[in-house]
Amino acid sequence: MPTVVVDALSRHRVRQAKEREAAGLEWEESPLVFTTSTGRHVEPRNLNTAYTRLLARTDLRPIRFHDLRHTCATLLLSRGVSPRMVMDILGHSQIAVTMNIYGHVIPAMQQEAAGQIDAALGDLDEDQDDEDERDDG
């Protein structure tokens, strides 16, 4: 798990322990990571309301909560994470599902790869030119 996520979950655990203490007998134990201030599950509409309020306090473009999943996948693919790993992270059962949804990101990755090959071969070509000049000299 990324360090930034581990750190955020650690801070969340501390906040949740304070909520548990404040709730006293009202607290409902559950295996959930994210709960209400009394330990119950968070209703989807309440999550969306809180998310919308959070976005309003930022300069970020508003997107649906579910779009965060797509953003994550697109960022991972654009950073060179293999489609197979993205499939595993998203919980897709088949690579075809991931590729059907996020295949549009791959051409940009191919263009980047081509640029990397150009750079590598360009360096080799320059080395060959230097060698040819020495042989002619």
Q: Per-residue pLDDT tens for 65-111?
A: 999 999 999 999 888 899 999 999 999 999 999 999 988 877 777 77
105 contacts 77 by C-beta, under 8 angstroms: yes
pLDDT at 32: 95
DSSP string, 4-55: HHHHHHHHHHHHHHHHHHHHGGG----S-SS--TTSPPPPHHHHHHHHHHHH
Tell me what percent of the residues of the chain surpass a pLDDT of 70: 90
Average pLDDT, stretch 39-64? Answer: 94
